Amino acid sequence: MPVFLAGQSYAKAISSVLDAKYVETSHQDGHIMAAIYSCKKYDILDEPFLVYHLSGGTTELLLVKKTENGFNCEIVGGTRDLPAGQFIDRIGVKLGFDFPCGKYIDYSAVNYGGKQERVKTCVNDSYINFSGEETRYRRLFENGEDKEKITYSVMKCISVSVRKSVEFAKEKYGIRNVLMVGGVSSSKFLRNEFSDMPNVYFAETELSTDNAVGVCEIGAMMNPISR
């Protein structure tokens, strides 16, 4: 992606000046390794594992295997339309929250004390569709539905959908461990919803959105003497 080319240029220049080895990794690999570093689950690398990358631009379920220079990632699920973060932001803007809306929606959903009705989801195997639910919640708000109830329902919809997707993929591929990465994974609501599911790991909140720490960790793994 063009946005990463500036960093690539700096890295090549610095490696040339310092006579250091230049190695490329990826934005997604950085997120994965940052989460592993954060939760100190390095043993997750000993076997294939699942990663759910949940952000404003990405909602992908990945089957991941460690390689010499990072990770081999195969997309095995995720969203077929709206990324989870975009779903949250579109509804949040409609409700009048400042953009980006994630922290406001999450706070409101966690603190909602009203009736917790069952939400609708659209999940086919490990793939999710959010656009239909986005339309439905927009209409509910326009028709006078309680604002806090909508925030709860949106986060519940995302949580239930992601959980169904994970459960299917774990069974299909015989996977034990699941790693949640990306900005949406910093959601307190989402973490609470997965608290009873074994072997599902979240990064610390401040590292959920970060991948620079992960890139450093990948470099350290490739050069263990420098650790």
Residue 68: CB atoms within 10 Å: 6
Domains of the chain listed by start with CATH number? 40-208 (3.30.420.40)
Cβ-contact 36, 44 below 8 angstroms: yes
Question: Maximum distance among all alpha carbons in the chain?
Answer: 64
With 0.85 as the threshold, say if the pTM is over it. yes
CA–CA gap between residue 68 and residue 11 (Å, rounded) = 20
CA–CA gap between residue 13 and residue 111 (Å, rounded) = 49
**pLDDT tens digits for range 89-118:** 999 999 999 999 999 999 999 999 998 888
| In 131-174, alpha helices (H) | 131-142, 147-173
CA–CA gap between residue 190 and residue 160 (Å, rounded) = 9
**pLDDT tens digits for range 23-66:** 888 888 888 999 999 888 899 999 999 999 999 889 999 999 99
| For residues 138-153, average pLDDT | 96
Asked if pLDDT for residue 224 goes beyond 70, the answer is no
